[in-house]
Every structure is written in C-alpha cells, then in structure tokens.
Structure 1
Amino acid sequence: MNTAITEQAVSEKEFLFPNLENLFCDINIHEYQNVMYKAQESVVSFLEEAHKPFSGVSPKELRKQFENIDLNDPTQSYEEVFEEVRTLYTQHAIAFHHPKYVAHLNCPVVIPAIAAEMLISSINSSLDTWDQSAGGTLMEQKLIEWTCKEIGFERSSDGIFTSGGSQSNLMGMLLARDYYSIKYFNHNIKKNGLPENAHRFRVFVSEAAHFSIQKSASILGLGEQAVVKIKTDRSFRMNSILLEDAIQKEIENGNIPIAVVATAGTTDFGNIDPLTNIARIAKRYSLWFHVDAAYGCALLLTEKYRHLIQGIEHADSVTVDYHKSFFQPVSSSGFLVKDRNYFNLITHYADYLNPKDHDENEIPNQVNKSIQTTRRFDALKLWFTLRIIGKEGLGNYIERIIYTANEAATLLENDPHFELLNRSDLSALVFRYSADPFKTFDLSRINTFIKSQLYRHGNALVAGTKVNGQFYLKFTILNPLTTIEDIQSILTTIKQYGNEYIEVN
C-alpha cells in the first residue's frame, strides 16, 4: 500500500472528524461534570491553603518558572494543567477574601455570584443583541432599572453594564462632550468629528478624583489639558467655592466649561464630594454633571449611610462598580443616565446586528447603549446576589465594613506611632508610621520599606499612596470578615518593621 496515500487519508479523516470531546455540548456532559469537579477542587485547595494574603513571591522568582513553558506543546491531562496552574498562579494569587488583605479596592465575592459565573461562562450569552441573549437582555434591563431607582432617577433613566469604572467614566465624558457640542453648537461629533473649538472644552474634577477622567479626556481628543483640577478641603473633598471660581476663570480665559465630575468615594480617602452643592453649580453654568460613585455606590445599600450621597439623584450620569462594593466578581459595573435619550448620541445601527427597524418593532438591543459590542452577561451575578442575599443583606456587610474602618481610625488616632491623615466616609484610611520624634528620619523611606516588607512576607497587605509628595500607607477595608483584631495585628506588624528600619539606620 502507498504510505503517502494512507497518511493523506488519515489526515483527511482527522480533518473531517476532529476530536470533539472538549467542546461544551450535550455529547460531552460527563466530561464537563468531571472537569468542573476538578476546577472546584482547585478552588477549594486555594481557600484551604491561603493562610495569608500573599505568598511573597517576587516577579523575578516567578518569571523563572515560565521560561520552559511551551504553549505549542499541550499537557497530557487536566491533572497536569491544574497542577501547572497551581504552581504558576493559584498558590501565589492574592487572596482578597483574607481578612488581612486591606490594600486596594478589591472585595471578597459572594457565593451566589460565583454560581452565576458558571452559567455565564458555560452558556456564553452575548448581551449586545436580543437574538444573542433573549432573557438575559431583560434581566440586565431590570437590574439597571433597579439601580436607577436606588440612585433616585426618574422612569426616563436608563443604563448599561460595563467592564469597570474607567469605562463608565469614559462613557460619562463621551456623552458630556457630544451633548454639549450638539446642544450649544449644533455640531454632531458622531458624524462630523470634533468641532474647531473642542480644544477649549474644560472638565472640572477634584484633585483627588480617579485618573480615568484624565485618561478619558485624552482618548476623546480633548487632551489632558482639558481637565481642570480643583483643590480639596481639609477632608479631601472638592472645594465647591474653588470650583465656581475655576469655572469663572476658564470662561474669562475664553475656554468652554462643559462638565463637572464629582467623586462619591475617592480611591485614597473614601470621602464624598459635596454633591448637592456641585449639582447646583453645574446647573447654574449648564454643565453636564457626572458622579463617579464606583466606590461610594455601596451607600445605596444601606439606609444608615444613604444620606452621605444625597445629591447623586441630580446627576446626568453615574458610575457604579458592583465589583467593588456589591461583592461581585470582576467584571461587574454600570453606567447610568437620568435620560435614556442621551444614548442616542452614541447609537449606531448595523443591518447585520441591530437594524433600525428593531427599534420600531420594540426589539431591545443593548448594543445601542454601549461602546462595547460583544459583552458578557455579567448582570446575572448581581441577579443571583440580590435574589439570594438581597439589598438588606449586602447593606449589613457595608455597615460592618464602615464600622470596622471607624474603629481602625480610632486606633490610629490613639497610637503615637501613627499619623492618620483623615477619617473616611467609607472605609479607606491614609496614614503612616511615625518615627521616634527625637530622631530625624525620612518618613517616606520608612513607610516605603514597611510596605515592601509586608509584600515580601505576605502576612498582611496594605496599599500605599503619595500626598503632597510624601509616601503614606493605606487601608482599604472591603471585607466584612476583617475585624478590629485583624487591624490591630496588622498595625503591630507595621510597627515591628518600622522599628527594624530605625534600629538598622
């Protein structure tokens, strides 16, 4: 027999009848169950072995283990790949659920949302059009309606799930730019590009606002020079008097104020700008009013602290991050507007996806409101969470977190080894270890050393930031499991490393 012909026949057979055992479908149900069980075992091992927030591995140490990985040479079994992932990732993954993780805005996640993740990934709906999601579209719309109601918006409001706060803030700035241009200059940016005077557009933010506002201005062609930073008061909240002064100054200089962004929960300090005052100023000068509540949206869940974001209902648009304050897995965020007609500014129709006659036939296509096309059904996680835990249950988590943060602030204020910059409306505390007052030490160096030691040993993780050029440590408490005893233990460790630095130097 001709060997070449035989090999060709085998090759053609493999092409026509490939190995299909790895496809998610009804003929592979047993394989799916088996592999999901192994994945579950891997997660359980992670929980059982995560005795501290971080392993302490350095980038250099871990990178060495990747050198001999050939992605063109598959492993022979799931057992092998799970073990490989354990070595390269799982055993070193940051444990956000650990009570001594108090670094960044990463929350522990709730089990109902994890259950939803299995459905989301397996069924793999795409939330851009009705014919790719069906009931998923209506569930997302129902959750948006619920969030808008909690904010205090009227029935004319609407929104969309997004990948995160940065995307939501970008959408806020995009609508602000396009709305102002078409309303006051009769210029359609979507069709005709930026107007000649776009370089004079100005957006006002607190100096403590999230960096994504500057990034958005750059992406939108306005340049970072379009962002005017307003100094904060002693509590690191936007000074509304200085805001109005800045608006008038820009007008006098021939520039065009188009929007103001208030922050409901700053990343560093967890404090909330005076929303009602800012809303009043925005209305006076006909500015788009956007509220970045990526962090502070947690207050929507609790009646006890809801008053802290009074004024958010006056916003034209709002950013919320469910994966920060609603205990959802990444990603799960939202962008809300008080008037659904604002979305017309970014709607595009494609005959192969969302033809205009769908609107006439009342077929809901979420892509009409999004700058994404393909989009995960992340809303299902929040649906599961609200149906199992409920708003009140989540609110109890938030109240506990805020209570712990207040207790932690009291500890810092009463300990002579520390300087607390400010109390928080939410749960972020900026502070630093303070050296022996009778010796002269560079406090930034000491606190940088402390942070590096914490990450090197991994027993507790805190964040760091700079205020007026000086380095500070930061607690971001987002875990209801974190107790004041955990905080006390972390502070003891910080003092230990601080004392070590002083003794050596």
Structure 2
Amino acid sequence: MSKPITKLPYFLGAESEAKEAYRTIIDQTVEAITSSVTDTGAYKGAGVDELQSLMGQTTILPQAGTGWDAVLEEVKKTILPNFLRTWSTNYMAHLHSPALLESIASELILSTFNQSMDSWDQSPIATEVEVAVVNELCKLYNFGTDSDGVFTSGGSQSNLSALTLARDWYCNTVLGHDVKKKGLPSCYQRLRIYTSEVSHFSMEKSAHLLGLGYDAVRKVPVDALCRMDMHALKTMLSDDLKEGLLPFCIVATIGTTDYGSIDPVAQLRALCDAYNLYLHADAAYGSGVQLSQTYQSRLGNLGLCDSITVDFHKMFLLPISCGALLIKDKSQFDVFTLHADYLNREEDEEDGYTNLVGKSLQTTRRFDALKVWMAFQCRGKDGFASIIDTCIGNAAYLAQAILSDNQFELAIAPELSSVVFRLSGSCEKNKQVRRELLHHHQVVIGQTVYQGRTYLKFTLLNPLVTHQHLDELLSLIKKLGSQVQ
C-alpha cells in the first residue's frame, strides 16, 4: 500500500521524490477507479436533485488546500460512484464509446508531457507523429498526394473548419473575393449550404459562426432510409439558382446521428461537379467503417469528397476528444494560416520546421494523434475490423428481432450500428420506460423522435454486447412497458 503524500510536488521531474509522488498518485488513482467498478451496470441511478445536492455540499475552492489524500477520498465518495460506465454493455444511448485500454495509457502519456500542438518547438516528436498519422489517414480514405489534415476536438470543429474552407474557396474562385482579408462579400446573405434534414446540428451552428446564419442551411428531405433525397436536392438547387441564391457546398452525412444513414457520395460528387460546388463528408459516425472489409462499401468512395470529418471517439473507441479533418487539396489550409513572430516564424518553416497552428482553428491543442498512433499499431486493421463488424452485426440482429415481435415497431433498417425502435403504444410509455431503465435498472439507452413520435434508440458501439444480452434487454423493455399505465 502506498504511503500518504505529506507534501505534494508540483510536477514530475528528475528528482526521486517527484517520481515517487507521480507513481503514488497514479497507483492510488488506478486503485480507486478499479475498486469502484463492482458490477456490470451502466449507471447507479442517481437523479438530478441528488447529484446537485452532492455538489452543494462541496467547497470547490477552499482557502487552504486539503491535500491529495483528502481530495482522492472525496473523489471516491462523490465522483466515482456516480460516473456513467461507458464500457458497460448496458450503455448504448449515444455515439459515446468505451475507451480502448491502450488509448487510456496514451492519455496518461500525453497529459503527463502536455505538449502543445501549435508550434514545432512546443511539440517536436508530437508534431511528427501527427503528420505521419494524418498521412496514413489520407491514404486510408483514398485521398491523393496533395492532401493533408489536422486533428480537431471532434465532429463539430471539423465541420466548422470544412465549411470555412468551402466558403472561402467559393468566394475566392467563383466570386473573386478574399474573405480572409476583406470579410464577407456583399452578397453573403445569398450563400447556401445543402445538407440532409437529419444531419448534425453543427451545420446550423457553423453557418451562424461563419456569419451566414441558420437560413443559409438548406435542409434536404430524406428518403425512406433517411438518406438525402437526390431528386429533392436537384430541385432545390435549380429553384435556388433561379431565385438568385448562391449554392456553394453540399454536406454528405456518412452516418446520421440517430439512424446511421449514409448519403450517396458518388451521386453528390456528380452534382457538385455539375454546379461547381464543394463536397464535404461529415463521416464523424461512419468513418471507422472504412476499416471493415465487410461493410466498407456502404460508405461509398469518400475519396470523391473535398474534405472529410473523421471522429475517433465514436466507432474507433478512443477517449474524448479525438477527431480529424482531412482535405484533398492541402493548399486550402492557407485559410487558417497567419504568421506570428512569437510562434510560427516563416524562417523556421522555410528550414523544415512544421508548425501545425497554420492548419487549425485552435492555437493550443492536445496531442490526440498519439491515441490513434498507439491504437492503430496495437489493434491493426484486423482488430478494428472485428470490432466494427461485431457492432454492425449486432445492429442487424437487433433490428430483425424487433421486426419479428409485434410489440415493437422499427423505424428503419440500420446501415451502421444504431437501431431506432419503439414499443407499440403511446409516446409517454416509451419515455417512461427509458427513465425507468436509467434510474432503476442501470441501463442507459437513447430517445429520439421519428415521424413525430417518440422512439427508443440503441447505439451499439461495444463489441462485448451479445445477441443474448440484446434479447434480454428487449424482454426487460417489454416488461416495463406492460407496467406503464
């Protein structure tokens, strides 16, 4: 058993006392975490009032610090018992995955060394690792030698970055206007983005931040499988052009948040070529399927896109946050480049030093590429393919089980690993069942709206889920539903 730490050093260093304190803190934390895991449930069930009461009893910033040992005891009492257990096979509410063990080890490494990914002299080996991982990703998604990419905090930041590139590309090449220097053109209120009506809400948020507003986002109707309706899109483009509007970008969703539906990339590329539009793929959900030989064809050829959002904290099972934006034409990153004498000096870059700040919306940025570097080498293509095949196979099994039971209704056949369904009956019944599972059965599932009615959702990102477990959960849902008045 570790000795109590009487005086906590500030940092890890070369001194034996600092090393011992570091080792002790990590060992004690690991012991506290593992001791807190006593069952297979996803959540102990505490409600909002109970958790807010716990926080009300804590002095967040005392006059004098209580020391490490007291803080750890408070964490063991207040925090650890009330965490959501993302590794539980009872957790399937959102695109929120468990974290592979090797990626947790990488989090310890990158947090300990605390590199900042803006300039080479703040992150020497980290910069080179990110460059190497980005190059590998560009090959994986069929981008050519002129491509590039950058790590981001996740899908929303990747999509915002991509739409910024798309806007500036259109303004420069079509309108002859430099947004970077002069701001938005006078016709900015006529610029339009086209995306599925069930696409991620970061499209509207990005349009707001880009000064275009929500009205710039044209939400395209979807077909019976919740994919963008190509006929409706063509009609909208034609009508908008007649109205004097300026279409500049189409966003293909490669795995919608609720349904996992996939927009047809090849058809969208042809349309973009015909209308001189930028094509972005929001593949935050579906990007991991590129590693599956069994299901990769469902994505289409993402190399046809001008940019791709990739998220590693979804189907790749890496810790939050970890995303990337890949672009086919690396020169477009000039949009984000601005040199500062204190950071990314031009003479350094001329001598071969890579300063990644020139590709990112962020300045200070975490070394998230290490998680991908370690996990890719640890698991390999076959390991990730097995994970993804299992999860998509589980979704297909669950959908079939739902279809064969007249007490359930299935929204659509899943393309990825999300299954949206409901108990036959009232919307209120389905809402109550989800709450009952959350607070009294340690089961956390999702809820959404499909065709105006409340539906339940299983987002299957855990390869340890079995068919038997899915059958048991369906039985439990039916039992709880029968008890709702």
Which TM class, normalised by the smaller chain length? over 0.9
Contact 1:318 1:335 in 2 (8 A): yes
> What residue is the counterpart of 2:53 in the other structure?
64
In 1, Cα distance between the equivalents of 2:50 and 2:178? 53
> What residue is the counterpart of 1:185 in the other structure?
175
SS of alignment partner, residue 324 of structure 1 = coil
SS of alignment partner, residue 273 of structure 1 = coil
User: Residue 151 of structure 1: which of 129, 136, 141 is its match?
Assistant: 141
One-letter identity of the residue aligned with 2:450:
V
Contact 1:419 1:431 in 2 (8 A): yes
User: Residue 290 of structure 1: which of 264, 280, 287 is its match?
Assistant: 280
Contact 1:50 1:95 in 2 (8 A): no
In 1, Cα distance between the equivalents of 2:8 and 2:89? 43
User: Residue 386 of structure 2: which of 365, 384, 396 is its match?
Assistant: 396
In 2, Cα distance between the equivalents of 1:338 and 1:415? 46
SS of alignment partner, residue 313 of structure 2 = helix
> What residue is the counterpart of 1:418 in the other structure?
408
- 1:96-495 map, 5 Å: 96-435=86-425, 443-495=426-478
Structure 2 residue 449 is the aligned partner of structure 1 residue 498: no
Displacement after TM superposition at 1:426 (Å): 0.5
Contact 1:75 1:81 in 2 (8 A): no
In 1, Cα distance between the equivalents of 2:61 and 2:275? 60
In 1, Cα distance between the equivalents of 2:420 and 2:94? 12
Displacement after TM superposition at 1:254 (Å): 0.9
One-letter identity of the residue aligned with 2:87:
H
User: Residue 12 of structure 2: which of 4, 21, 24 is its match?
Assistant: 24
In 1, Cα distance between the equivalents of 2:76 and 2:239? 57
In 2, Cα distance between the equivalents of 1:20 and 1:129? 31
SS of alignment partner, residue 271 of structure 1 = coil
* Structure 1: 5+ residue stretches without partners: 1-18, 436-442
In 2, Cα distance between the equivalents of 1:492 and 1:420? 16
In 2, Cα distance between the equivalents of 1:167 and 1:149? 22
In 2, Cα distance between the equivalents of 1:391 and 1:127? 27
Structure 2 residue 38 is the aligned partner of structure 1 residue 55: no
One-letter identity of the residue aligned with 2:82:
H
Displacement after TM superposition at 1:256 (Å): 0.2
SS of alignment partner, residue 412 of structure 2 = coil
Contact 1:53 1:94 in 2 (8 A): yes
Contact 2:40 2:89 in 1 (8 A): no
In 1, Cα distance between the equivalents of 2:287 and 2:452? 29
Contact 2:151 2:325 in 1 (8 A): yes
Count of equivalent residues: 476
> What residue is the counterpart of 1:9 in the other structure?
none
In 2, Cα distance between the equivalents of 1:313 and 1:463? 32
In 1, Cα distance between the equivalents of 2:439 and 2:132? 45
Displacement after TM superposition at 1:89 (Å): 1.9
Structure 2 residue 28 is the aligned partner of structure 1 residue 38: yes
Displacement after TM superposition at 1:366 (Å): 0.6
In 1, Cα distance between the equivalents of 2:40 and 2:379? 27
> What residue is the counterpart of 2:4 in the other structure?
none
Deviations 1:241-263 (A, max 9, x none): 21111111110111000000000
* Structure 2: 5+ residue stretches without partners: 1-6
Contact 2:411 2:450 in 1 (8 A): no
Structure 2 residue 83 is the aligned partner of structure 1 residue 93: yes
In 1, Cα distance between the equivalents of 2:290 and 2:478? 36
Contact 1:214 1:224 in 2 (8 A): yes
SS of alignment partner, residue 232 of structure 1 = coil
SS of alignment partner, residue 314 of structure 2 = helix
Displacement after TM superposition at 1:140 (Å): 0.5
In 1, Cα distance between the equivalents of 2:197 and 2:11? 51
The two structures, once aligned, show a CA RMSD in angstroms of 1.2
Q: Which moved more, 1:83-92 or 1:360-369?
A: 83-92
Displacement after TM superposition at 1:44 (Å): 1.1
In 2, Cα distance between the equivalents of 1:153 and 1:458? 46
In 2, Cα distance between the equivalents of 1:75 and 1:452? 39
In 2, Cα distance between the equivalents of 1:402 and 1:160? 28
Displacement after TM superposition at 1:455 (Å): 1.3
SS of alignment partner, residue 422 of structure 2 = strand
Contact 1:299 1:305 in 2 (8 A): yes
TM-aligned CA distance change 1:50 to 1:370, over 3 Å? farther
Deviations 1:322-368 (A, max 9, x none): 11111100111100000100101221111110022233222111101
In 2, Cα distance between the equivalents of 1:147 and 1:119? 22
The structure with the largest alpha-carbon Rg is: 1
Contact 2:142 2:301 in 1 (8 A): no
One-letter identity of the residue aligned with 2:435:
S
Give the ranges of 4+ consecutive aligned residues of structure 1 lying more than 3 Å apart after TM superposition. 74-77
Q: State the identity as a percent.
A: 36
One-letter identity of the residue aligned with 2:12:
F
In 2, Cα distance between the equivalents of 1:229 and 1:279? 18
Contact 2:394 2:466 in 1 (8 A): yes
In 2, Cα distance between the equivalents of 1:241 and 1:150? 31
